[in-house]
Amino acid sequence: MAFITEIANEAQWKTEVLETPGTLQVVEVFQSWCGPCKAVQSTFKKLYFDLNDRPLKFYSVSSERLPFLKEYVGKCKPIFLFFKDGKQVEKIDGVKAPQLNKVVTEMSGKNPPPAAPAAAPAAAAVEAS
Protein backbone atom coordinates (compact mmCIF):
# COMPACT_ATOMS: atom_id res chain seq x y z
CA MET A 1 0.00 0.00 0.00
CA ALA A 2 1.20 3.51 -0.75
CA PHE A 3 1.30 4.69 2.85
CA ILE A 4 3.81 1.96 3.80
CA THR A 5 7.32 2.28 2.35
CA GLU A 6 9.37 -0.88 1.95
CA ILE A 7 12.99 -0.48 3.03
CA ALA A 8 15.28 -1.98 0.38
CA ASN A 9 18.79 -1.45 1.80
CA GLU A 10 20.91 -0.05 4.63
CA ALA A 11 21.31 3.36 2.98
CA GLN A 12 17.55 3.78 2.76
CA TRP A 13 17.18 2.58 6.39
CA LYS A 14 19.69 5.18 7.54
CA THR A 15 18.09 8.03 5.58
CA GLU A 16 14.45 7.18 6.22
CA VAL A 17 14.49 5.82 9.76
CA LEU A 18 17.61 6.99 11.56
CA GLU A 19 18.03 10.48 10.11
CA THR A 20 14.48 11.84 10.23
CA PRO A 21 14.20 13.85 13.46
CA GLY A 22 10.88 14.42 15.19
CA THR A 23 9.02 11.74 13.24
CA LEU A 24 7.74 8.47 14.67
CA GLN A 25 8.72 5.65 12.34
CA VAL A 26 6.76 2.42 12.67
CA VAL A 27 8.73 -0.43 11.10
CA GLU A 28 7.22 -3.85 10.48
CA VAL A 29 9.94 -6.51 10.33
CA PHE A 30 8.62 -9.48 8.36
CA GLN A 31 9.89 -12.77 6.96
CA SER A 32 10.58 -12.93 3.22
CA TRP A 33 8.66 -16.21 2.91
CA CYS A 34 5.40 -14.61 4.05
CA GLY A 35 5.76 -10.89 3.29
CA PRO A 36 4.28 -7.96 5.21
CA CYS A 37 1.32 -8.80 7.45
CA LYS A 38 -1.97 -8.14 5.69
CA ALA A 39 -3.92 -8.30 8.97
CA VAL A 40 -2.29 -5.14 10.32
CA GLN A 41 -2.62 -3.05 7.16
CA SER A 42 -6.15 -1.88 7.96
CA THR A 43 -5.03 -0.79 11.45
CA PHE A 44 -2.10 1.16 10.03
CA LYS A 45 -4.20 2.65 7.24
CA LYS A 46 -6.72 3.96 9.78
CA LEU A 47 -3.92 5.41 11.93
CA TYR A 48 -2.30 6.95 8.86
CA PHE A 49 -5.47 8.83 7.94
CA ASP A 50 -6.66 9.60 11.48
CA LEU A 51 -3.27 10.99 12.51
CA ASN A 52 -2.33 12.63 9.20
CA ASP A 53 -1.43 15.89 10.95
CA ARG A 54 1.31 14.20 12.98
CA PRO A 55 4.92 13.40 12.07
CA LEU A 56 4.37 9.69 11.44
CA LYS A 57 5.65 7.23 8.81
CA PHE A 58 5.14 3.51 8.24
CA TYR A 59 7.77 1.13 6.84
CA SER A 60 8.22 -2.57 6.23
CA VAL A 61 11.45 -4.49 5.85
CA SER A 62 12.39 -8.14 5.47
CA SER A 63 14.43 -9.43 8.40
CA GLU A 64 16.81 -11.04 5.89
CA ARG A 65 17.47 -7.78 4.06
CA LEU A 66 19.46 -5.93 6.75
CA PRO A 67 22.23 -7.60 8.79
CA PHE A 68 21.29 -5.89 12.06
CA LEU A 69 17.80 -7.44 11.88
CA LYS A 70 19.16 -11.02 11.85
CA GLU A 71 17.82 -11.66 15.37
CA TYR A 72 14.32 -11.58 13.85
CA VAL A 73 15.01 -14.13 11.08
CA GLY A 74 12.84 -17.23 11.42
CA LYS A 75 10.18 -15.66 13.64
CA CYS A 76 6.66 -16.76 12.80
CA LYS A 77 5.05 -13.43 13.64
CA PRO A 78 5.86 -9.88 12.60
CA ILE A 79 7.83 -7.59 14.87
CA PHE A 80 7.01 -3.89 15.05
CA LEU A 81 9.85 -1.52 15.90
CA PHE A 82 9.22 2.11 16.76
CA PHE A 83 11.90 4.73 16.17
CA LYS A 84 12.02 8.41 17.05
CA ASP A 85 14.99 10.72 16.55
CA GLY A 86 17.12 7.81 15.35
CA LYS A 87 16.55 5.66 18.43
CA GLN A 88 14.37 2.61 18.97
CA VAL A 89 11.76 3.60 21.55
CA GLU A 90 9.41 0.58 21.54
CA LYS A 91 8.97 -2.95 20.21
CA ILE A 92 5.82 -5.04 19.86
CA ASP A 93 5.92 -8.75 18.99
CA GLY A 94 2.99 -9.91 16.88
CA VAL A 95 -0.17 -8.25 15.66
CA LYS A 96 -1.77 -6.67 18.71
CA ALA A 97 -4.00 -4.00 17.20
CA PRO A 98 -5.07 -2.30 20.47
CA GLN A 99 -1.46 -2.04 21.65
CA LEU A 100 -0.26 -0.85 18.22
CA ASN A 101 -3.02 1.79 18.18
CA LYS A 102 -2.10 3.02 21.65
CA VAL A 103 1.64 3.19 21.04
CA VAL A 104 1.33 4.94 17.67
CA THR A 105 -1.22 7.45 18.98
CA GLU A 106 0.75 8.27 22.12
CA MET A 107 4.21 8.36 20.54
CA SER A 108 3.36 10.14 17.31
CA GLY A 109 3.68 13.48 18.92
CA LYS A 110 1.12 16.05 19.59
CA ASN A 111 -0.13 16.35 23.09
CA PRO A 112 -3.79 17.27 23.29
CA PRO A 113 -4.38 21.02 23.56
CA PRO A 114 -4.99 22.31 27.09
CA ALA A 115 -8.62 22.46 28.10
CA ALA A 116 -10.17 25.88 27.63
CA PRO A 117 -11.23 27.59 30.86
CA ALA A 118 -14.91 27.22 31.60
CA ALA A 119 -16.91 30.19 30.38
CA ALA A 120 -18.70 32.19 33.03
CA PRO A 121 -22.47 31.90 32.88
CA ALA A 122 -24.16 34.81 31.11
CA ALA A 123 -26.00 35.85 34.29
CA ALA A 124 -22.73 36.23 36.20
CA ALA A 125 -21.29 38.34 33.40
CA VAL A 126 -24.33 40.67 33.47
CA GLU A 127 -24.14 41.06 37.29
CA ALA A 128 -20.46 41.98 37.08
CA SER A 129 -21.10 44.91 34.73
The full set of domain ranges for the chain reads 4-112
pTM exceeding the 0.85 threshold for the entire prediction? no
Please determine, for residue 63, whether its predicted confidence score (pLDDT) is greater than 90: yes
Lowest mean pLDDT across 61-65, 104-108, 111-115: 111-115
Other Cβ atoms within 10 Å of 3 Cβ, number: 14
Taking a C-beta distance cutoff of 8 angstroms, is the pair 35, 65 a contact? no
Which pLDDT value is given to residue 5? 94
Task: State how far the Cα of 44 lies from the Cα of 39, in Å rounded to an integer.
Answer: 10
DSSP 89: E
- What's the CA gap between 103 and 109, in Å, rounded? 11
The answer on pLDDT for 105 being more than 50 is yes
Q: Mean pLDDT in the chain?
A: 84
Domain 4-112 is classified in which CATH homologous superfamily?
A: Glutaredoxin (3.40.30.10)
